[in-house]
Amino acid sequence: MLSTRALGLAPTLKQAAFSPARNHVLRNVIRSSITKRSIQTQSLKPEDGTTILNKQRLQRPSSPHFTIYEPQLTWVGSIFNRITGVGLSFLLYGFSLAYLVAPGTFDSTHVIEFVGGLPDAVKYAGKFILALPFTFHSFNGIRHLLWDSGKFLTVKGAYSSGYAVLGATAISTIVLMFQ
Amino acid sequence: AIYKGTVNDPTTFPPPSKTHGSYHWAFERLLSAALVPMTVTAFATSGTNYPLFDGILGLSLIIHSHIGFDSSIVDYLHPRKFPVIGPIIRWTLRAATVGTMVGVYQFNTNDIGLTELIAKVWTA
């Protein structure tokens, strides 16, 4: 009987069955083994259900999604727009807070002097690193505003405007690099 | 009967509000649209001739950056999923924005101003 094994009653019952027992001995044995179980129980509050479920969910595997999505102009352009925006904003915030904290080291004369003293290759690289995000974010921002007014809202439109943005970014970055 | 409070509850939605909804969207797009002619003018003229314009451009850039940062927080660190760091980062952003506004004001008043600085550093 599976239930008696699970409840831990099997050894007791076996013992009782093999001993030369009379009815009341068997009854007493069963009664005492029923009141004293050899299994442990644990009382849980209702909130523990959510906690245990969340712990289990953290350990469950998930299929690859972001790692297998083919890079396309649509979403790569979108995340690059965010990355460039956040990067430029970090620069703006960083410089303004640095000027607020230490106006002596970050005022215009020192900054211009420092940049002027850098080698030419570093200057060109620096201009490229600053011009590319700025131009891409500006042109892609215009593309977003055009989308908001209802234009280019097809797949062809998204791709053609995307290539236009890439072209404009490349041209304006090169123009700005040699200013 | 639909039981609430179990582990199968759907996600919550924020209460409908025009200030956080359509007005916020409209303001964000208006600001971004206004930044386009302002940036073009900043390239054309110099900041020292029109300090008020320089200040308005700086303020608009900061507000635009703040809205962008806030959208990133909503997308990646929503307080619904990150109940502790979400609000912390949000308030850090607000403090940083206020600090940046003060910094830009100081820079534009006591120094040459943002557009002038970029123009000079570019040709340094």
Alpha-carbon gap, residue B67 to B73, rounded angstroms: 10
Q: What is the pLDDT of residues A116-140, one digit of tens each?
A: 999 999 999 999 999 999 999 999 9
Q: With cut-offs at 50, 70 and 90, classify the pLDDT of residue A11.
A: low
Alpha-carbon gap, residue A118 to B23, rounded angstroms: 46
CB proximity A6 to B under 8 Å? no
CB proximity A141 to B under 8 Å? yes
This prediction's pTM: 0.79
- Nearest partner of A88 among A134, A20, A26, judged by Cα: A134
Q: What is the pLDDT of residues A64-108, one digit of tens each?
A: 998 999 999 999 999 999 999 999 999 999 999 999 999 888 888
Nearest-Cα distance to chain A for B52, in Å, is 18
* DSSP annotation of B12: P
Burial of A171 (0-12, 13-18, 19+ CB in 10 A): exposed
Q: Considering only CB atoms, which chain A residues are within 8 Å of B116?
A: 108
Distance between start and end Cα atoms, chain A: 90
C-beta of residue A97 within 8 angstroms of C-beta of residue A105: no
CB proximity B111 to A under 8 Å? yes
Interface with chain A: mutation pick from B9, B24, B30, B32, highest number of A CBs within 10 Å: B32
The whole-angstrom distance between residue B29's C-alpha and the CA centroid of its chain comes to 12
Nearest-Cα distance to chain A for B50, in Å, is 18
Alpha-carbon gap, residue A59 to A27, rounded angstroms: 48
